[in-house]
Structure 1
Amino acid sequence: MAMMIVMYHILPILLAILCVECQQVQPLLRYPKPVCGTRKISTRGLIVGGSETVPGEWPWHAAVYHVQDEGRVRKYVCGGTLIGAKFVLTTASCAGNKHRRGKSDASVVELGQYDLAESSRQKVEVAVKRAIVHEQFTFGTPKNDVAVLELRHAVSFTDYIQPACLPKESEAIKEFESETGTIVGWGNKLDGVLADRLQSAQVPIISLIECLQSDPDFFGKTLNTGMFCAGRKNGTAPCFGDAGGGMFFKEERGWVLRGITSFTSAGPIGECNTQQFFGLSNVVYYLEWIQNAIGKSQGHLRRKNSTSRSCGVRSTAIQGLGRNGEWPWQAAVYHVHRGSNPGREFACSGTLIGSRYLVTTVSCARYEAKNGTNFPIVVELGHVDLNDSASPRVSVGVRKVFVHEQYVRGDTKHNLALLQLRNPVDYTDHILPVCLPDSSLSDMQFGNRSGSLVGWNTAERLQSVQLSIVRCSGSDVSSKVFCAMSENATTNCVGDEGSGWFLNKNEVWTLYGVVSEPRKGCDYQQYLELANVATFSAWIKNKINQQDD
C-alpha cells in the first residue's frame, strides 16, 4: 500500500510544488520537560512501503482542521506533531491564512486520533489559540514553511497522547543522510481518496546532491537552506493531506522529530508524484526559531548561548536557599580515569553561561595525567549534593577546551578556560545560564562591593559565602585579576577552584569572578585571587561565535 501525505494547499502548477500543511510543536524551554518520544502502547513492526498503524502507535501525531462558516463547516487539512502540552509543530502553509497575515484558519486540533471517520474515547479536541507563522514565509514557496500552533489549553498526556522529542542543536541533518526514518499521515491513497486510518512508511534521507540530480528543474528552484529531501521513488511518498506531519527517528531517548513534510513535485495532471523524492522542513535548522516562538508565548525568550537578560534569573518555582535550583548555573567538573583503575574524580567547579558552554580555570580543564595526557572531562549540572544520585542532575561530556592564549602555568592573570559541551543542555528549574558582565570591574569601588562565592569546598553539599572586594597588597595583580575576602575568616579551599563569584542586581545574577588556584593552599586568612570575567567577556563571546558560525 502506498503511503501518501495529503496537502491542503496546492501551489500553482507553474511552480510544480504541492505544499503540505501541518501542526505545531512545543519544547518546554525553562521548565522541567515530560518524557518525550515514548510510546505507551505496544505495537507491531512497520512495513516499508506504507501501512496502517494501530491506535497509540504515534501518540504525538495530530490532525489539524480548518473551521469555517462560524463552526458549521470543519475540514481536515493537514497533520502536525505535539511537542509539548500546549504546542503543535506544523507547516506555515497549513497554519496561516494566505489572505490575512497573522490570522489562522487552523482552528481545531485533534490529538489521540487514529481513524478520522470514527470517534473514540481517547481522542481530545482542542481549539487553536494562536498560529505563529515564520516571519519570512511566503505563500507559493516552501521556503521557511514552518509554524507553531499554540493551543487554548494544555492537554493531559495519556497512553494515546504524548509529545515527540525535538532534535539537539548539534545534530546536523547531514549526519543522518541515508538513514531511514518514519513519515506519518492521513494523506491520499493511490486511488486519490483520503485515508481514514493513520498511515506510516519508512523512507531514507537523501543527500541534496542526489535530490537535485533526480529532478534539476524542480528541485533546483525549490530547495533552499532549512530543507532536506527524503523518499524512495517507488510509490511511497506523501500526498495531499500529509503536509505538516513529521519524519521521526527512533533513538535512545525516544522518537525524535527531524523533518516536517512540506512539498513534492506534481504529476502531468497535478496529481502527487509518488515516483519522486519529496521535501521537508529541517527541524534542527529552525530549532531556535521554534523555541523563541514558544518562549514569547510563555512570556520569556530563549536565545542560543544566551548572555542577555534571559540569563541569570532563578526559576520562580525555587523557593528558599540551599535547595536544588538556588544556583542553577553551578557545574561540577570531573576528570575521567581510564585504564586499570577506571572511574571519575571531582576536580573543580564551573559556571554555565549558555546551553553548550561553561567557564572554569585552565589549570582544572587541562589537568594532566602522569603520562602527560589530558584527562577526559565530564560536567554535571542541576544538583547541590555530589553524592545524591536522586537529585535532578544531568551529565554531559566536554567536546572541546578553549584555553586563553596568554595563559602560562602558575600564572593567575589568564587562568580562564571555556568548555564546549558535546550536546546542548535543556534549561529547567535546576539548569539555567548566568549572565556575563558588560562593564569592567574597574568601575566598582574597592571594598564596597560584596558578592556570592559558590562551590562545594570540602563538603558534599553546595556552599555559598559572601566575599567583599579587597586591595591585593603585595601582589602583582592586574586589571585581569581582582581579590576578595570574607570578614569572618571563610574563604575557598580544596574543590573551589573554578567557582564563580556573582553579583545580584534587580534579581539578575552576573558572573564577575572565577576563582584561581589558591597560592598559599587552603588558608582561611588569605584573600582569593579571581579572574576578572569582565575583561575576558569579549574573548569568551568571540570563541563562542567562532564555533556557532
Structure 2
Amino acid sequence: MNSAFALKSFLFVIIGVQCNANVAPPSCGRRQIKLQQLVTHGYTTNPGEFPWHAGIFMTSGFQKSYICGGSLVNELSVITAAHCVTDPVNGLVTSPATLFVQLGKFKLNLYGDTVQEHAVQQVIVCEDFQTKTSKYDLAIVRLATQARFTDYVQPICVFPQPPGINYNDGSIRGTVVGWGYTQFDALADALQGTTLPVVGHTKCLESNPELFERTLYDGMFCAGFKNGTNVCNGDSGGGMVVNRNGQWFLIGVVSFTAARDSNTNLCSTKDYTGFTKVSAFQDFIVTNCGLQPVQPVTERPAAVGGGGKQKYFHATDFGLEQKMNWIKKVKEIVAKGGMETDANGVARLKQYWIGANDLGVSRDFKWQFSGRGITFTHWRQNEPNNVNNNEHCVAVLGNKQAFWLDANCKGKRQVLCEVWK
C-alpha cells in the first residue's frame, strides 16, 4: 500500500444502490475481535481487524480479477469509488453480472473459511461523477444476497458522522486498509493498513497545483504522507475510517493520486491522496441504502476508576504492572478491551507509558486511539527532545510533579490504560 488510485486522467467512484430500508444494521463499526491498533506506517493487519472491508472482483470469461476495495454499510450495500465500476473511456457503468464481492477476506488469493462471496444485483454511480476530474467519485454496489454478520463480517458506521471532524486543521488521522500495491510494486497478499493524517485544502493545493487545481472541491479531502507511506493502485474504493471511543466511522473513500511519471500508471509515493468526503453525499447514501442513523458512543471519562473525570490517575485502578515496550503494550491493552488513556491531567505514578506519540510527524503528538491532537501537556523542562531522532512515545515520570517525557518506543515501562467494563 503506497498511495491511492494513480492515473494520468483521474477517476472517481460513486455510491448508488436502492437498498431495502429495513436492512440497516442495528449496530455498526464494532470489531468482534480485539486486535492491535495500527500505527502510522504500513502494517499487515490481522484477520477480523477491519471486518467491514470488502474486495470487489470482476469476471471476464474464466478470468477473475481483483479491482477495488469497498466498505460494507449494511447487509446489502457496499460503498466504493465510482471509477472502480465505470469504464474510463466511455463512462458506462460496469455490468453487475460481471462483478462479485468478497467479505471477511484477509489473504487476497485465498478464499478461507471466513470469506463470504456475493453476486452483485445493482451498481449505482453518482450521476454527477466526472471521470476526468475525479469529482463525485462515489458508488454503491448492491449485493444480490444478504451478508451474514460474523466475527469477520461487520458493517461500518456512516451517519451521523462523528463529532469533531475538521478536514482543514490537521487534527484528524484516519485508517485505510487494502490489498493495493506495496513498495515492491505488486499487490499485497495479506490486507495492509496505515494511518494517515488529513491535510487541509490549502496545503494540499500547494503541494501539487497541477493535480489538485483540477480536482479539489468541497466533496473531497486530501490525506497522506509524502514519504512513501500511503495508499496505492488497488486500494481505490476502500474507506478511510476513524475510531471514536471504540466505534468506527467511514469518513472517506480512496479516489486518486498523481501518477509516478508520464510513462506509468503506478502511483506516486510523493503526493497526497484524494478521498471522496462521505459527509458530502449523505442524502445520496441514505436515500439509496436506507441507512438509519446510529448514535455515536459518548466520550468516556479520562479516568475510569472513579466513574468520572479525575485530575489524578492511580495505577491501582487501571495500570498494567507488567513492563513492556510501547508497541507490545498497545496490543495487550486492546486485547483487554481498552486503550491507553488520554492523560488530560497530572498523573502521580511510577514511570508509565501513556497513549501519545509523534510517530507520524515529529513534534506533532497525537492520542494513539482517538487520533486527536493533545490539548493538555505536562512536559519536563527541555522535553520533548527526541534524542538521536528516536524518541516518539510519551511516558510520565514517577515524581511529585509527574512530568512528561518523550522516550524510545522500544523501551520497557509500565502502562497506564483504561479498560472498559
TM-score category of the 2 structures, normalised to the smaller one: 0.5 to 0.7
1:125 counterpart (113, 117, 129)? 117
Change (3 A) 1:165 1:28: farther
The secondary structure found in structure 2 opposite 1:286 is: helix
Listed one character per residue, the Cα deviations across residues 95-125 of structure 1 (whole Å, up to 9, x for unaligned) are 2345473443661000000001222100000
Cα distance in 2 for partners of 1:25, 1:234 equals 37
1:288 Cα offset (Å): 1.2
- Give me the whole-angstrom Cα distance separating, in 2, the residues matched to 1:100 and 1:265: 21
1:46 aligns with 2:44: no
Aligned to 1:104: 95
Which whole-Å CA distance do the structure 1 matches of 2:120 and 2:231 have between them? Answer: 25
Q: Is the radius of gyration larger for structure 1 or structure 2?
A: 1
Is residue 288 from structure 1 mapped to residue 275 from structure 2 by the alignment? no
Correspondence for 1:221: 214
Shift of 1:174: 3.0
Deviation at 1:45, TM superposition (A): 3.0
- Distance in 2 (CA, whole Å) between partners of 1:200 and 1:20 is 21
Q: 2:249 aligns with which of 248, 256, 259?
A: 256
Separation in 2 of the partners of 1:114 and 1:22?
25
Distance 1:57 1:79 in 2: 15
2:418 match: none
* 8 Å contact kept, 2:12–2:135: no
Alpha-carbon displacement from aligned partner over 1:428-460 (angstroms, at most 9, x marks no partner): xxxxxxxxxxxxxxxxxxxxxxxxxxxxxxxxx
Alignment correspondent of 2:349: none
Q: Which whole-Å deviations, capped at 9, do the CAs of 1:123-180 have from their partners, x for residues lacking one?
A: 0000110000000113232100000000001111000000000042685653774321
Selected match of 1:62 from 37, 50, 54: 54
2:221–2:275 CA contact under 8 A, matched in 1: yes
Amino acid at match of 1:93: H
TM-score normalised per structure 1 = 0.49
Residue 2 of structure 2 is matched in structure 1 by 4
Show the counterpart of 1:77: 67
- Mapped partners of 1:169, 1:112: distance in 2: 24
1:385-396 to structure 2, matched below 5 A, reads none
What does 1:185-200 align with in structure 2 at a 5 Å threshold?
A: 185-200=178-193
Task: Please state if 1:279 is matched with 2:274.
Answer: yes
Distance 2:14 2:125 in 1: 11
1:404 counterpart residue number: none
Going from structure 1 to structure 2, the CA distance change for 1:259 and 1:27 (only over 3 Å counts) comes to farther
C-alpha separation between the residues in 2 aligned to 1:32 and 1:228? 27
Q: 1:117 touches 1:196 (CA, 8 Å); kept in 2?
A: yes
Give the letter for the 2:50 counterpart.
Answer: W
Cα 1:138–1:117 shift into 2, 3 Å? same
1:28 Cα offset (Å): 7.6
Structure 1: distance between partners of 2:144 and 2:23: 19
- Matches of 2:17 and 2:225, distance apart in 1: 27
Give the SS at the match of 2:211. helix
Q: Deviation of residue 218 (structure 1)?
A: 1.4
Residue 134 (1) aligns with residue 132 (2): no
Structure 1 contact 20–243 (Cα < 8 Å) conserved: no
Amino acid paired to 2:120: V
Change (3 A) 1:79 1:202: same
Q: Which runs of 5 or more structure 2 residues have no equivalent in the other structure?
A: 294-421
Q: After alignment, is 74-83 or 134-143 more displaced?
A: 134-143
Q: What is the SS of the residue equivalent to 1:284?
A: helix
Higher RCO structure (Cα 8 Å, ≥6 apart): 2
Name 2:77's counterpart in structure 1: 87
Counterparts of 1:33 and 1:91, CA distance in 2: 22
Q: 1:464-483 maps to which residues of 2 (within 5 A)?
A: none
* Distance change >3 Å, CA 247–CA 256, structure 1 → 2: same
Q: What is the alpha-carbon distance in structure 2 between the residues aligned to residue 221 and residue 250 of structure 1?
A: 31
Q: Which runs of 5+ in 1 are unaligned?
A: 305-549
Taking the aligned partners of 1:108 and 1:31, their CA distance within structure 2 comes to 20
Give, in angstroms, the shift of residue 224 of structure 1.
1.6
For 2:140, the equivalent position in structure 1 comes to 148
Figure out how many residues of one structure are paired with residues of the other and give that number.
288
Aligned pair in 2 of structure 1 residues 31, 273: CA closer, same or farther (>3 Å)? closer
Task: Give the TM-score normalised by structure 2.
Answer: 0.63
- Matched residue SS, 1:181: strand
Query: Paired residue for 1:209, among 202, 216, 222?
Result: 202
1:67-466 map, 5 Å: 67-69=59-61, 72-98=62-88, 99=90, 101-104=92-95, 107-168=99-160, 173-174=166-167, 177-252=170-245, 254-268=247-261, 269-270=263-264, 271-295=266-290
Letter in 2 for 1:91: A
- For the aligned residue pairs, the C-alpha RMSD in angstroms reads 2.7
Displacement after TM superposition at 1:35 (Å): 1.2
- Deviation of residue 232 (structure 1)? 1.4
Q: Aligned partners of 2:20, 2:227: CA distance in 1, in Å?
A: 38
Question: 29, 42, 61: which one pairs with 1:37?
Answer: 29
Q: Which residue of 2 aligns with 1:471?
A: none
Q: Which secondary structure state, in structure 1, belongs to the residue aligned with residue 198 of structure 2?
A: strand
Return closer, same or farther for 1:24/1:190 CA change in 2, 3 Å cut-off.
Answer: farther
Task: Output the CA distance in 2 between the equivalents of 1:253 and 1:43.
Answer: 12
Alignment CA distance shift 1:34-1:137 (3 Å): same
> Whole-Å Cα distance in 2 between the matches of residues 28 and 176 of structure 1?
38
Q: Secondary structure at the match of 1:135?
A: coil
Give CA deviations for 1:53-88 in whole Å, capped at 9, x if unaligned: 01000100000001122xx11110010000001000
